[in-house]
């Protein structure tokens, strides 16, 4: 297991579209374990492979208080969604920025687990928000891109300044 380096907005690699996993093998299980370790260390409630510059469709999520309910989704697909809800979001790739985003309130997601078995899950509330946020990463989309141009430009400038300061 290893803690991986998380890339930060506006790094253009965050806009890479992840490719589906063809075979769930030891390499993929190892990637999922590293993503989980990186998410817990951060700490965060979700992480997509895109954020560690691996462009395969793998995400991990754990919204539990105790940090012991890891969920791994390989090739996740939202097959149904209903309702709208607004929630404040943050992202490990955009540290220090918290903004409200409107997303579907309830989703049904289809994915493979670490054994390569297909499963479907109905999610609502924070879990639904988090899964949508992670699936967006796999599509090359970062949550700040839902905000106005004005807010996005301010965030971009803030991030660039932060990067310069930490160099
Ligand atoms: O840790 C995280 N918290 C969070 C809060 C509200 C909505 C989404 C998230 S996901 C984020 C971790 C992350 O960047 N995942 O990609
Ligand atoms: Ni994120």
Write out pLDDT tens, residues 132-141.
999 999 999 9
The Cα 135–Cα 57 span in angstroms is 8
List pLDDT tens digits, range 88-106.
Answer: 999 999 999 999 999 999 9
167, pLDDT greater than 80: no
The Cα 37–Cα 51 span in angstroms is 13
CATH number at 12-166: 3.90.45.10
φ and ψ at residue 165, rounded to 5 degrees: -65, -35
User: Which residues place a Cβ less than 5 A from the ion ligand 2?
Assistant: 91
pLDDT value for 163: 87
pLDDT value for 141: 98
Q: What DSSP string runs through 49-93?
A: GGGGT--BSEEEE---TTS---EEEEEEEEEEEE--EEEEE--TT
Domain ranges, ordered by start, for the chain = 12-166
Tell me, in angstroms, the distance from the centre of ligand 2 to residue 90's CA.
7
Q: Per-residue confidence at 166, pLDDT binned at 50, 70, 90?
A: confident
Angle at 103 between CA 123 and CA 39, to 5 degrees: 65
pLDDT value for 60: 99
Which whole-number Å values give the CA distances from 5 to 13, 24, 84, 103, 167, in the listed order?
Answer: 13, 23, 33, 28, 15
Tell me, in angstroms, the distance from the centre of ligand 2 to residue 89's CA.
9
**Atom 6 of ligand 1: nearest residue by CA position:** 89
List pLDDT tens digits, range 123-158.
Answer: 999 999 999 999 999 999 999 999 999 999 999 999
The percent of residues above 90 in pLDDT, for the chain, comes to 98
List pLDDT tens digits, range 4-50.
Answer: 999 999 999 999 999 999 999 999 999 999 999 999 999 999 999 99
């Amino acid at each position: 297991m290893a803690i991986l380096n998380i890339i930060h907005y506006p790094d253009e690699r965050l806009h890479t579209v992840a490719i589906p996993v063809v075979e769930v093998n030891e390499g993929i299980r190892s990637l999922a374990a590293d993503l989980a370790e990186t998410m817990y260390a951060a700490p965060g409630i979700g992480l997509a492979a895109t954020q560690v510059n691996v462009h395969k469709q793998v995400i991990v999520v754990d919204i539990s208080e105790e940090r012991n309910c890891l969920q791994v989704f390989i090739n996740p697909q939202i097959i149904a969604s209903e309702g709208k809800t607004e929630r404040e979001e943050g992202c490990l790739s955009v540290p220090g920025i918290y903004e409200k985003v409107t997303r579907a309130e309830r989703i049904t997601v289809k994915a493979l687990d670490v054994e390569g078995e297909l499963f479907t899950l109905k999610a609502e509330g924070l879990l639904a928000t988090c899964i949508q946020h992670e699936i967006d990463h796999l599509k090359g989309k970062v949550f700040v891109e839902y905000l106005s141009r004005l807010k996005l430009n301010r965030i971009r400038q803030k991030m660039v300044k932060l990067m310069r300061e930490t160099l």
